[in-house]
Amino acid sequence: MQEEGKFKFIETKGGNDNIILLHGLLGQLSNFKGIIDNFGKNYNVVFPHLPILEMPVKEVGIGALLQYVSEFINFKGYDKVSLIGNSLGGHLAQLYAIDNPDKVVSMTLTGSSGLFENSMGSTFPKRGNYEYIKEKVETTFYDPTVATKELVDEVFKTVNDRMKAIRIVATAKSAVRHNLADKLHNIKAPTLLVWGQNDGVTPPFVGEKFNELLENSELHFIDKCGHAPMMEHPEEFNKILAQFLDKNLVE
């Protein structure tokens, strides 16, 4: 992870097209390993670490995260970007695209919030119970074995830090308040929607609603797949993404 100013990020510098990866509430770099490995040589794939767990509690919320993303893109001097967002990261992608229509070349949403979500982060009634957290993480996926011990341990550690848990809950509630149904018509950039057929957090009807409200969008479902298609079915996800990028990006 590189550090410049207040920003931490990965940048592959594999091409001229900038692809920004935006992670979810409890997301991390490993979530996007398949995308970085597959596309990093031909595109400038960039993963900024979102300071969800570090920002001052009084500033926590989707507005502050959107400002952070905007500042990062400006700091790096990217003239045009394509955005790929999972869960909360998809929500941020939509907000950025609404505010910066001239900068966004394309957008990819997968298991995105912004319309409806059953949020794991809205409360942690049993945050000290490892088995409970393990079960919650496993339900993110169709195949519970995708929830590795390393992943569960990381989530357990995070939600048992009181101040981090407060930030997660506050961010989740902020996202729920920012419903974008009446704003999505403003997004004209070509948009790829990749949804797990078995997503329990943002169910399939959410993907269908995005497809209805985003006029320049295409929707793909992946079978036997939960809330994070790029993790659970990386090869199929990358195949769909490659076809979309080939149509909509120069390189």
For the segment 24-50, the average pLDDT, to the nearest whole number, is: 92
Element at 137 (helix H, strand E): helix 130-138
Instruction: In whole angstroms, give the CA distance from residue 30 to residue 114.
Output: 23
Question: Is the residue at 129 inside a domain?
Answer: no
Instruction: Please tell me the distance from the alpha carbon of residue 136 to that of residue 155, in angstroms, as a whole number.
Output: 10
The CATH number that applies at residue 19 is 3.40.50.1820
pLDDT at res. 133: 86
Q: What is the pLDDT of residues 192-218, one digit of tens each?
A: 999 999 999 999 999 999 999 999 999
Nearest in space to 116 (alpha carbons), one of 31, 23, 199: 199
Domain of residue 16: give its range: 2-117+179-248
Structural domain contains residue 65: yes
The answer to whether residue 83 is domain-embedded is yes
**Amino acid identity at 249:** L
Looking at residue 58, its pLDDT comes to 84
pLDDT at residue 126 in the model:
62
Domain count along the chain = 1
More confidently predicted of 112 and 120: 112
Question: What average pLDDT does the segment 169-176 reach?
Answer: 85
**Residue at 160 is within a domain:** no
Q: Are strands 44-48 and 7-11 parallel, antiparallel or unpaired?
A: antiparallel
